[in-house]
Amino acid sequence: MIRLAPLDHKLLRDLRRMWLQIVAVGTVLGCGIALFVMATGTYGSIQRSRDQYYAAERMADLAASVVRAPESVGAQLAALPGVDAVETRVSGIALVDLPGVSEPVSARVVSLPRGREARVNDIVLHTGRLPAPERDNEIVVNEAFAERNGLGPGDTLAAVLYGRRRTLEIVGVASSPEFVFAVAPGEITPEPQRFGVFWMGREGLARAYDLDGAFNDVAIRQARDAKPRELVAAVDRLLARHGGRGAYGRDRMISAQFLEDELRSLQTMASVLPPVFLAVAVFLVNVSLSRLIATERSNIGLLKSFGYSNLAVAAHYAKFSLAFAALGTVLGVAVGQVGGDYMASIYRSVYRLPDLQFDAGPLVYAGAIGVGIAAAVLGSARAVRRAIRLPPAAALAPPAPTRFGGLGERVERAARSLDAKSRMIVRRIVRFPRRSLSTVAGIAAAIALLVTSQHFPVAMNHIVDVNFGAAQRMDVTLAFADVHDASILRDVRRLPGVLAVEPMRSAPVILSAGTRSQRDSLLGIPAGARLNRVLDGEERPVPPRADGLTIARVLARKLDVQVGDRVRVQATDGRRRSLEIPVVAIVDPFVGAPAYLELDTLNRLLQEPERVTAAYLLVDARAREAFSREVKRLPAIAGVTYADNAENTLRRLFNEGSGFFAALFVVFSSMMAAGVAFSAARVTLAEQERDLATLRVLGFRRREASYVLLGEIGALLLAAIPLGIVLGYLLTRWLMSQFATELFSFPHVLSPAAYGQSVAFVAVAVVVAALFVRRGVDRLDMVGVLKSRD
Amino acid sequence: MSLPAAAARGSVRVFHLAGVEKVYGSGEAAVHALRGLDFDVMAGELLVLLGPSGSGKSTLLNILGGLDRPTAGRALFRDLDLGAADDAAITDYRRHHVGFVFQFYNLIASLTAEENVELVTEVADDPMPAAEALGLVGLGQRRGHFPSQLSGGEQQRVAIARAIAKRPTVLLCDEPTGALDVATGVRVLESLVDVNTRLGTTTLLITHNADIARIGDRVVRFADGRIRSIESNARRVAPRELHW
């Protein structure tokens, strides 16, 4: 049996006595560590999984599409300096008719090389086999699409490829680094039920698209020593005469970009939130230990008088803080692990990364333990130092009464206008400003975190509400396979149930100003657009203008342009016009709308009149079935999106990912509020025990004595509320700006309900904790307290 | 020199104790702090409770002050049964009738001397002004000082002023000079005697110092939870005549 040293016996007994305090502090510390483990671990897991996947399957660094380039251009591309590998491909959009599914489904069809693995953007076959090169009706489909639609090898489906309807047989299910996040063209959310990726033998697909001996899509892996900007320019030069639409890097590949944005949010989360919790935990450890050491004064004197060294005394009290650290770390790592597993499962369902498992790795766990110990050491340093510094004689003598003189004339004047009990409260708060402030700061931090955490769902719902309520008011979006003559709109109008049609054109361009340039889409929106409106940050419609460009602030910043500056617009498609257009307005659009102007003006400037790439429709709900049936027959259509489906998908996406996180965040913040409140109340009671007992002995009733205890906490709570609101506002604004991506700018919606609920919740937590502790007033041992020295 | 006894002294009974016992714990671990006390305390007298540590005198004082309850027997303050009254009644009793003075002063550090006294006068029925109470213990000039700015003796005298300001029926003092040097102790005892004489406040004073016992009207000697003797002093000795 292990024989414990006497001091360790004392330690264990004291810990048992303080267990509630330890749980309170350990929980707050645990929340911080759990967030740290979860966010950092998830970030690391996804990043690792992505990088391995990209490397193993040779994810493209650059991609470009062309109208038609002869296969020989592929060899020229491969010979460019800085190119490691090139895969020329045939790629297109197909409209799919799934048995039993009335709504149109679309798919990106991509060719696979004959008789070898793809040099770039290879696929991982999960089941079945690759299509036979000579068979032009065999396809491999992506995993998400197969899962959602219950498809597998042996199933058939009908698809319109390049205007020709054909029956395709699924021979395999696969995934690819290129489509980790498979989104239909023009959409912002993955809808695997309605959008798939089909891989087909190169010859068969080339025949279907009339691209025998040619390609319309190229994926390039660059060499380690490549100079990306120069490479892009070289690729563009080579492809220009074949109708090249401009090469772009991973930052414009939608799947890679989504994943990158997600990783950045996780990184923000991991770097911002845990420190707040840890700071509060440090403060709580400090408060708890300071109090303990104050009550242990005579014990410290005794130990020292017996000959215990300063080191032994310091070690004894440091062990207390390690108890907080141990509980916090164990709790944090366990919760972080469970939360991380869950987050990984969510990410697996959204991002198709094979082998994505939550694995925080030894560094994160070591970090968690380190953070826990550091929090405990930081929190206890001052208190332990005080214990060491106490000379034995001084420790054994009763402490002099706390000095309350000289608190300042203004405080005294205010105090004198109050009754004696309130005066006690005011003087204590002012006398111990650091402690009062840290309690206020702790409570305020809890309010701020709650406000922020509640803001996530508010912001997300707001994005969806505004996007689908005020900005995008169409029922259906039709994406055309290519730039199309406006005459197509006549066919669209004839579809059953169509009530209104609004055209749109999206032109791939390179926008440049000075030395800065940006590849983006320039949108042409009709004057008086009603179905697809661009809204600014205040949700006011910003109609397109004929006299110049309206551009998003993010883009304006990238190009470093202001209203009145001229932007060079180089079309990378069609007639490839190069123009200079003035910027006439800069807006903060709600959901990605980089640059736009009036549709006819755009077409005129590009010298391509009457062109459209998409149409927005109002469709009579009663005719939806018939509409769905008929629209599939239009060969020009590459994608059909129902707004209600998109809205539901977006909401689900938000709820599953960020929603889970927000809920967790609310729970953690609430626990923190309760922990701070409990500790503050407990310490106040401990410090006031003698005064409260004196009041009781003097004949004050329980509620009168309780007033002194609750009054102090109440006053600090009242001070913390406005501070918490302001902090919450600032933190939310800052965090929203940190989470903003190219595709979404998170709005800062001032939600009185979120503030009200946060304040109410924290206030209730504080009051409950204070009332819980207040029971101590009922149990005060008047005799014991008063007969002992301070 | 003997001090004149108050006119009312000895004629009205303030406390009546009959078979008062106090047992802490139970079974083998039971500690009998009081083993059947029977005696009365009369209005206006200065009663000294004398005995070694653990003899039960503090336990008795706590019971009489409404801080503790007897395990058996009856302890009456006038008609109030201190063992049976509910918590609110006992709180009221302390509020209106009892003044306490402890060995360790127990002043509220965040209140000045005057405010410590006012704490009591705010809730008492017929208090004396705080300044007057402080004047009675010779601290009229120090009333704006915080406890940290006062000496031990001064702090104890503030505690006495606080105890008497409500004009309590009884003043219960538990080793009030225990933490003080002789000269300061004498000064404190003088204040107590002065209050007893001038205001006629029934005063119970615990000490283990036999010499201090000479300032009382009667001396109750305790040993092992029992009253060993109750003696009346032929004359009350003035504190400044004491030596210990």
The ipTM assigned to this model is 0.84
Give CA separation, A552 vs A329, A519, A549, A736, A745, in Å. 45, 14, 10, 17, 11
Q: Amino acid identity, residue A51?
A: D
Chain position carrying tokens 């590949």 = A253
The arithmetic mean of pLDDT across residues A654-667, rounded, is 76
Q: A607: Cβ–Cβ under 8 A, 6 or more apart, which residues?
A: A575, A577
pLDDT higher than 60, residue A380: yes
The arithmetic mean of pLDDT across residues A44-67, rounded, is 94
Query: Which residues of chain A neighbour B65 with C-beta distances below 8 Å?
Result: 697
Q: Which SS3 state, helix, strand or coil, does residue A501 take?
A: strand
* Residue B94 distance to chain A (closest CA, Å): 5
The arithmetic mean of pLDDT across residues A496-521, rounded, is 90
Residue A699: closest C-alpha in chain B: B95
Walk me through the domains of chain B, giving residue ranges and CATH numbers.
42-69+96-241 (3.40.50.300)
Burial of A104 (0-12, 13-18, 19+ CB in 10 A): buried
> CA gyration radius for chain A?
33
pLDDT band, very low/low/confident/very high, at B1 (cuts 50, 70, 90): very low
Q: Which SS3 state, helix, strand or coil, does residue B15 take?
A: strand
Cβ–Cβ below 8 Å for A787 and B102: yes
Distance CA A774, CA A205 (A): 78
State both tokens at B175: 């080793």
B174-198 per-position pLDDT tens digit: 988 887 888 888 988 998 898 899 8
* Helix residue spans in A351-360 (DSSP H): none
Which of B38, B106, B32, B43 minimizes the C-alpha distance to B75? Answer: B38
Distance CA B92, CA A593 (A): 75
Look at A47-56, A397-406, B56-65 and tell me which has the smallest mean pLDDT: A397-406
Q: What pLDDT score was predicted for residue A2? A: 64
Q: What pLDDT score was predicted for residue A720? A: 93
Sheet holding B202-207, edge to edge: B98-101, B170-174, B202-207, B46-50, B218-223, B226-232
Q: Which residues share a beta bridge with B13?
A: B42
pLDDT higher than 60, residue A754: yes
* Residue A413 distance to chain B (closest CA, Å): 13
Chain position carrying tokens 């002869």 = A70
Cβ–Cβ below 8 Å for A420 and B96: no
Burial of B28 (0-12, 13-18, 19+ CB in 10 A): exposed
B129-177 per-position pLDDT tens digit: 999 889 888 888 998 899 989 988 899 889 989 988 888 999 999 988 8
Q: What pLDDT score was predicted for residue A744? A: 63
A215-262 per-position pLDDT tens digit: 999 999 999 998 988 999 999 999 988 988 889 999 889 889 888 888
Residues in chain B: 244
Q: What pLDDT score was predicted for residue A398? A: 63
* Residue B59 distance to chain A (closest CA, Å): 9
Cβ–Cβ below 8 Å for A698 and B146: no
The arithmetic mean of pLDDT across residues A642-668, rounded, is 80
A672-713 per-position pLDDT tens digit: 778 877 887 888 888 888 888 888 888 888 888 899 888 988
Walk me through the domains of chain A, giving residue ranges and CATH numbers.
1-55+266-399 (no CATH), 56-257 (no CATH), 409-473+643-790 (no CATH), 498-619 (2.40.70)
Distance CA A316, CA A210 (A): 82
Q: Are B104 and A790 in contact (CB under 8 A)?
A: yes
State both tokens at A357: 């498992």
> CB atoms < 10 A from the CB of A469, how many?
12
Cα dihedral: A249, A253, A255, A257 (round 10):
60
pLDDT band, very low/low/confident/very high, at A590 (cuts 50, 70, 90): low
pLDDT higher than 70, residue A292: yes
Q: Are A779 and A388 in contact (CB under 8 A)?
A: no
pLDDT higher than 90, residue A765: no
A513-558 per-position pLDDT tens digit: 988 888 888 999 999 889 988 887 778 888 999 999 999 888 898 8
* Residue A694 distance to chain B (closest CA, Å): 7
What are the strands, taking DSSP E only, across A389-534? 476-485, 498-513, 516-525
Task: Judge whether A753 is closer than 8 Å to chain B, CB to CB.
Answer: no
pLDDT higher than 60, residue B5: no
Cβ–Cβ below 8 Å for A691 and B65: no
Distance CA B158, CA B90 (A): 24
pLDDT higher than 60, residue A1: no
* Residue B163 distance to chain A (closest CA, Å): 8
Query: Which residues of chain A neighbour B94 with C-beta distances below 8 Å?
Result: 696-699
State both tokens at A721: 């509320």
Q: What pLDDT score was predicted for residue A406? A: 67
Cβ–Cβ below 8 Å for B91 and A701: yes
Q: What pLDDT score was predicted for residue A697? A: 87
Mutation target among A436, A688, A694 for the B interface, most CBs of B within 10 A: A694
A631-641 per-position pLDDT tens digit: 887 877 888 88
A396-454 per-position pLDDT tens digit: 666 667 777 666 777 778 777 888 888 888 888 888 888 788 888 888 988 888 888 88
pLDDT higher than 50, residue A598: yes
pLDDT higher than 50, residue A610: yes
Q: What pLDDT score was predicted for residue A350? A: 80
Residue B43 phi, psi dihedral angles, 5° rounding: -60, 135
Sheet holding B31-42, edge to edge: B31-42, B13-24, B72-77, B80-81
Residue B120: closest C-alpha in chain A: A698
Residue B216 phi, psi dihedral angles, 5° rounding: -90, 170
Q: A568: Cβ–Cβ under 8 A, 6 or more apart, which residues?
A: A511, A512, A513, A578, A579, A580
More confident residue, A779 or A123: A123
Residue A560 phi, psi dihedral angles, 5° rounding: 55, 50
Minimal Cβ distance to B108: which of A400, A694, A701: A694
Q: B141: Cβ–Cβ under 8 A, 6 or more apart, which residues?
A: none
C-alpha A744: how far from its chain's center? Answer: 11
Q: Are A364 and A332 in contact (CB under 8 A)?
A: no
Half-sphere exposure of B40 (CA within 13 A, CB side): 11
Look at A33-42, A571-580, A702-711 and tell me which has the smallest mean pLDDT: A571-580
pLDDT higher than 50, residue A325: yes
Residues in chain A: 790
Mutation target among A690, A695, A698 for the B interface, most CBs of B within 10 A: A698
Cβ–Cβ below 8 Å for B109 and A404: yes
Interface of B with A (CB under 8 A): 58, 62, 65, 67-68, 87-88, 91-96, 98, 100, 102-104, 106-111, 115, 118-120, 122-123, 145-149, 155, 162, 174
Half-sphere exposure of A424 (CA within 13 A, CB side): 27
Task: Judge whether A427 is closer than 8 Å to chain B, CB to CB.
Answer: yes
pLDDT higher than 60, residue A179: yes
Mutation target among A396, A404, A425 for the B interface, most CBs of B within 10 A: A404
pLDDT higher than 80, residue A298: no
> CB atoms < 10 A from the CB of A85, how many?
17
Query: Which residues of chain B neighbour A423 with C-beta distances below 8 Å?
Result: 110-111, 115
Distance CA A337, CA A331 (A): 10
* Residue A718 distance to chain B (closest CA, Å): 21
Distance CA A711, CA B43 (A): 40
Q: A1: Cβ–Cβ under 8 A, 6 or more apart, which residues?
A: none
pLDDT higher than 60, residue B6: no
pLDDT higher than 60, residue B7: no
pLDDT band, very low/low/confident/very high, at B43 (cuts 50, 70, 90): very high
Which of A140, A67, A146, A153 minimizes the C-alpha distance to A105? Answer: A146
* Residue A294 distance to chain B (closest CA, Å): 16
* Helix residue spans in A87-150 (DSSP H): 143-149
Q: Amino acid identity, residue A236?
A: D
Minimal Cβ distance to B119: which of A431, A698, A790: A698
Q: Which SS3 state, helix, strand or coil, does residue B211 take?
A: coil
Cβ–Cβ below 8 Å for B67 and A782: yes
Chain position carrying tokens 């149109």 = A104
* Residue B4 distance to chain A (closest CA, Å): 30
* Residue A405 distance to chain B (closest CA, Å): 6
Task: Judge whether A403 is closer than 8 Å to chain B, CB to CB.
Answer: yes
Sheet holding A248-249, edge to edge: A83-89, A214-222, A62-70, A248-249
State both tokens at A249: 């890097």
Which of A35, A20, A25 minimizes the C-alpha distance to A332? Answer: A35
The DSSP bridge pattern shows strands B72-77 and B80-81 to be antiparallel
Query: Which residues of chain B neighbour A695 with C-beta distances below 8 Å?
Result: 108, 119
* Mean pLDDT over the full length of chain A: 86
- Count CB pairs under 8 A between chains A and B: 100
